[in-house]
Structure 1
Amino acid sequence: MKYVTKADGSRQPFDRKRVRRTLENFGLDPEDADRIADDIEEAVPDGIRTAAVLRMIRTRARAVRPAVAHRTNLRRALALLRPKPDFEEFVRILLREHGYRVKAGCVLAGRCGEHEVDAIAQKDGTTLFVEVKHHVSYHRMTGLDEGRIARAIVEDLQEGFRSGRCIVSIDGALIVCNTKLSEHAKRYATCRGIEHIGWDYPVERNLRTMIEETQSYPVTIVSGVTRSVTAKLAAAGILTAKAVAYGDAATIAHDSGIPLQEVLLIAERARKILEPELRRPPG
C-alpha cells in the first residue's frame, strides 16, 4: 500500500477514488478519469506529498481538457475570498441554492444580550442562525470554540424569544467554515446538536459537495482573477463563476468598473470551467 503525506506532515493511504473524483470535478468523463487515476496510482512514489499529487492530476487533466488550465484549486479559491463581506454572502448564496430561505445578517436580542448573526436560514420548518467562519489558511482547523459559543447563543436567543425580547424563534445554529473541523469540534457539535458545514464534513453534505452539486463555484475559481478584481465584482453583486459566465458582460463592466474586455475574458474562462460539467451525464 502506498501512502501520501498531507500538508500537516501526517500520512494516509493513497486514495484512488479521491483522485478519480477530482478528475471528474475538473470535467473529465468517467472513462478518462478512470484511465488517469490508474496512471497516477501506478506512478506516485510512496510518501508523496498531496500537493504533488494534485499537480499530477492537473497536468494530466489539462492534456485531456485544456479548460482545466483556467481553474484554480477550490480550497484555494475559497481562501482567496475576503471573509467579510464576500465569503459571508457566498455562503448565503450557496444555502439558497440548496433550498434554504435565507435572510442577511441582523442583530437578535437574547434574554441576556444582543447577538449579531451572519444570516437566518429556514428549511423544512427549522430556523437556524448562521455563523460563518473563514480562514485565509485553508490548512487551519476550525476548532471547538465556535461550537461552544454557538451553543450559548442558541440558549440565550431561545430564552429571549420566550420572554418576548427576540422576534425570531431560533431552533439551532449552523456554522459554515471553509476548513476542516477538529475531531473535538465534531464530537461537541454532535453532542450539542450544533449543525456544521465544513470543507469535508459532514460526509454526505459538506462545503465541497454542496458547491460541486450546484456548480456554485466562487468567481475566484477562475485563474488569474486578482483580489482587486474579486472585490470589484463582489461590490457589483457578482460572487460566483456562474454569475459572471452567464451574466450580461456590459452591465457587469458598468457596475464593477472593470474594463469590458477583462469581464469578457473572465466570463469565457468561467464558461469553459462550467460547461463540460454541465454536459456531464447524471450519476
Structure 2
Amino acid sequence: MKDKSFKIIKSSGEKADFSLSKLRRSLFSSGADELTVDNILNVVRDELYQGISTKEIYNRAFALLKKSKSIYASKYKLKKAIYELGPTGFPFEKFVGALMTYSGYSVKIGEVLQGKCVSHEVDIVAIKNGEHIVAECKFHSAKTNTCNVKVPLYINSRYQDIIAEKKNTKECPNEGWVVTNTRFTLDAITFGSCVGLYLLSWDYPKDNGLKDRIDRLGLYPVTVSTLITNREKQFLLSRDVVLCRQLLNDSFYLDHLGISETRKTKILSEISMLCNTH
C-alpha cells in the first residue's frame, strides 16, 4: 500500500489523520511481540479507507490480537472493559476501591460523613500511613463525555464542608480525590490543581493514570476477559467480583455459572497470566 494520508472518524465524530505510530503503541501496550504487531499493522493498513472509524480499526486490531493470543486482546481492550463496568457507576467505585486496597489502603465504600452544613455520602474513604482520602468517582458510559470544571467545583465544596466539621479530629481527611474513567477538561485540571484536589483519570496524571496503575499492579477488571460472556460478567459484578485477581481466589463463582471444567481452566489460565501470577 502506498503511503498516503487517511482521514479517520473519531468516536466524537471529529475527523483526524490516521496515526500508524499511535496504533503501534497501543498494540505494544497489549504485550504483543514486535512480529505480531508488525503483522497486524500490515493487515490493518491494507484495509484502511477514507472515513473509516476508530471503532472499526480497533475492532479489526482486537480480532487479530485475539486470534494470535487471547491475553493480548484482553489487555488491548482495557479501556473498553472499564466502560463495561457500567451502566451504573457502582462497579466502577468498587473497582477503584479494589485498586486502592491492593495498594495498601484501608478502604470503605459508600460511607456517610457529616459535614458542617449537611451530611455527604462519599464513594470511597481510604486510609494509609497518615493519608486520609475521600474520593468521588465519576463514571461515564459514553467515551464522548468528559469531566468539566463543574465536577471538581462541586466535589471540592463537599470536601470543604466535611473538613469544616472534622477539623482538629483524627477523622479529618487530608486529601480529596476525583476519579473518572474518561478525561478531565483543561479547566477541570487547572481548578483541581489550584484548590489541591487530586485528579485521576484514564491517562492523568501522566504515567500514573488509571491505565498505568492497572498495568503496573496487574489489577484488571473481570470485564477484560475475552473468554467470559457479557451475561457471566454481569453475574460476577453483581457478586462484587470486579477484579480478575478476585476471581482467581473465588473461582467457585464459575461453577455457579455452570461453566465446564475445560472452559474454566482456560479462563483461569488467561486471567492468571493477566495478573502475572503463577
Counterparts of 2:106 and 2:197, CA distance in 1: 19
- Encode CA deviations 1:16-44: one digit per residue, 9 max, x unaligned: 44323322333312443356446656764
Relative CO higher for 1 or 2, CA cutoff 8 Å, sep ≥ 6?
1
User: Please, which moves more after superposition, 142-151 or 76-85?
Assistant: 76-85
How far does the alpha carbon of each residue in 1:178-218 deviate from its partner, in whole angstroms, 9 at most, with x for none? 11222322222222221121122222211222222222221
Q: Which residue of the partner structure matches residue 229 of structure 1?
A: 232
Among all aligned residue pairs of Structure 1 and Structure 2, give the percentage whose two residues are the same amino acid. 23
Relative to structure 2, which stretch is displaced further, 151-160 or 73-82?
73-82
- C-alpha separation in 1, matches of 2:70 and 2:108: 39
Counterpart CA distance in 2 for 1:66 and 1:221 is 10
2:150 to 122, 145, 148: 145
Q: Deviations over 1:243-264 (max 9, x none)?
A: 32x3353x3246xx422428x6
| Worse-superposed segment, 92-101 or 222-231 | 222-231
Structure 1 residues 235 and 43: alpha-carbon distance in aligned structure 2, compared to 1, 3 A threshold: closer
1:252 aligns to what?
253
Structure 1 residue 219 corresponds to structure 2 residue 222: yes
Question: What's 2:57 paired with?
Answer: 53
Contact 1:25 1:277 in 2 (8 A): no
By how many angstroms is 1:149 displaced?
A: 1.3
Pairing partner for 1:185 from 185, 188, 198: 188
How many residues get paired? 272
TM-score computed with the length of structure 1 as normaliser: 0.80
Q: Which residue of 1 aligns with 2:82?
A: 78
| Cα pair 2:219 2:244 within 8 Å, conserved | yes
Return the letter of the residue paired with 2:141: V
What is the match of residue 239 of structure 1? Answer: 242
In the TM superposition, what are the counterparts of 1:128-167 in structure 2 within 5 Å?
A: 128-162=133-167
CA gap of 1:235–1:152, structure 2 versus 1, over 3 A, is same
Q: Indicate the SS of the match to 1:203.
A: coil
Task: Flag structure 1 segments of 5+ consecutive residues without an equivalent.
Answer: none
SS at match of 2:260: helix
Contact in 1 for aligned 2:29/2:75 (Cα 8 Å): no
The one-character-per-residue Cα deviations of 1:104-152 (angstroms, maximum 9, x if unpaired) are 3311111111111011123563322011121222332122222011111
Please say if residues 141 and 180 of structure 1, whose CA atoms lie closer than 8 Å, have aligned partners that are also in contact: yes
1-side partners of 2:113 and 2:70: how far apart? 49
Give 2:22's aligned amino acid.
Answer: R
Distance 2:106 2:52 in 1: 44
- As a proportion of its length, which structure holds more helix? 1
Q: Judging changes above 3 Å, is the alpha-carbon distance between structure 1 residues 158 and 55 closer, same or farther for their aligned structure 2 residues?
A: same
Among candidates 23, 30, 38, match of residue 26 of structure 1: 30
Match of 1:169 among 172, 182, 198: 172
The counterpart of 2:273, out of the listed 272, 275, 282, is 275
Would you say the 8 A contact 1:76–1:138 is kept in 2? no
- Specify the SS of the correspondent of 2:96: helix
Change (3 A) 1:66 1:232: closer
Q: TM-score with structure 2 length normalisation?
A: 0.81
Which structure 2 residue ranges, 5 or more long, are not aligned? Answer: none
